[in-house]
């Protein structure tokens, strides 16, 4: 058997095929009745003797909140934890704005705020007025204000440090649940 790291898990190449072993929940794709199976035990042994990195050895700090985030070899930066990560289509509110004004995320988190220029302000997103309280290393996302969307022109995109935006919590569920976005296309 040979073992290789795969994301925050491991792949074990055995005679009967390749097995996927996750140590967090002690899962193995072989579904053997004896628990832990020989694949999990093999991974544990290799980690103990130092031939494999432990699963928590491959983490990065989330630039949003500082939590450790497991990274996979296939992952592209930036690596945000599940709580901080935003994806196109997510409905968010501006922490410095009205909690009743939803914004729509239109880009995945990109480069850090200190590197992204604001086109009409001759400064970076990190230096933009109102963003001083946010870490200059957090990734920037683009959002649009759906109220301002018109059929006449492309929607204006605004850049925010990702940590300035919050997904509406259960507090706001009521006020936002009836909200729908109009597609102008
Ligand atoms: Zn197994
Ligand atoms: Zn985070």
Range of the domain at 46: 2-57
Query: What's this model's pTM, rounded to 2 decimal places?
Result: 0.59
Going from the Cα of 100 to the center of ligand 1, the distance in angstroms, rounded, reads: 50
Q: Which residues surround ligand 2, an ion (CB under 5 A)?
A: 62, 64-65, 67, 81, 84
Q: Do both 171 and 95 map to the same domain?
A: yes
Look at residue 36 and tell me if it is in a domain. Answer: yes
Shared-domain flag, residues 170 and 101: yes
**How far is ligand 1, taken at its centre, from the CA of residue 23, in Å?**
11
Query: Do 145 and 96 share a domain, yes or no?
Result: yes
How many helices and strands, by DSSP H and E, does the chain display? 2, 13
Per cent of the chain over pLDDT 90 is 35
pLDDT for the residue 178: 40
Same domain flag for 115 and 164: yes
Lowest mean pLDDT among 42-51, 72-81, 153-162: 72-81
Domain presence at residue 67: no
Top pLDDT among 162 and 34 is at 162
The arithmetic mean of pLDDT across residues 38-54, rounded, is: 83
- Percent of the chain at pLDDT > 70 equals 84
- Residue 144, pLDDT score: 93
Cα 67 to averaged position of ligand 2 atoms, centre (Å): 6
The 10s digit of each residue's pLDDT in 152-173 is 887 889 999 999 999 876 554 4
Asked if residue 81 belongs to a domain, the reply is no
Neighbours of ion ligand 1 (CB under 5 A): 19, 28, 30, 37, 39
- Domain presence at residue 170: yes
**Could you tell me if 41 and 112 lie in one domain?**
no
Among the candidates 10, 37, 57, a domain finishes at 57
Residue 183 within a domain: no
Predicted pLDDT at 56: 61
Exposure of 160 by Cβ count < 10 A (0-12 exposed, 13-18 middle, 19+ buried)? buried
Domain count, the chain: 2
With 80 as the cut, is the pLDDT of residue 113 above it?
yes
Distance from residue 139's CA to the centre of ligand 2 (Å): 11
CA of 76 to the centre of ligand 1 (A): 29
Residue 171: φ, ψ to 5° = -60, -35
Q: For 47-51, 90-94, 152-156, which range has the lowest pLDDT when averaged over its residues?
A: 47-51
């Amino acid at each position: 058997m040979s073992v290789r790291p795969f994301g925050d898990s491991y792949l074990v190449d055995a005679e009967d095929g390749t097995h996927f072993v996750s140590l967090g929940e002690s899962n193995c794709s072989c579904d053997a009745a004896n628990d832990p199976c020989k694949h999990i035990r093999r991974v544990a042994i290799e980690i103990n003797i130092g031939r494999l990195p432990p699963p928590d050895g491959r983490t990065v700090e989330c630039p949003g909140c500082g939590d450790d985030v497991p990274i996979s070899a296939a992952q592209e930066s930036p690596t945000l934890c599940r709580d901080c990560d935003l994806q196109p289509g997510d409905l968010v509110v501006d922490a410095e704005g009205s909690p009743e004004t939803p914004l729509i995320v239109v880009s995945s988190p990109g480069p850090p705020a200190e590197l992204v220029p604001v086109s009409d302000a001759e400064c970076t997103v990190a230096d933009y007025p109102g963003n001083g309280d946010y870490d200059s290393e957090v990734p920037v996302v683009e959002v649009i204000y759906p109220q301002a969307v018109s059929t006449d022109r492309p929607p204006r995109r605004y850049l925010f440090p990702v940590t300035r935006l919050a997904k509406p919590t259960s507090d706001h569920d009521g006020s936002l649940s009836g909200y729908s976005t109009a597609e102008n296309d």
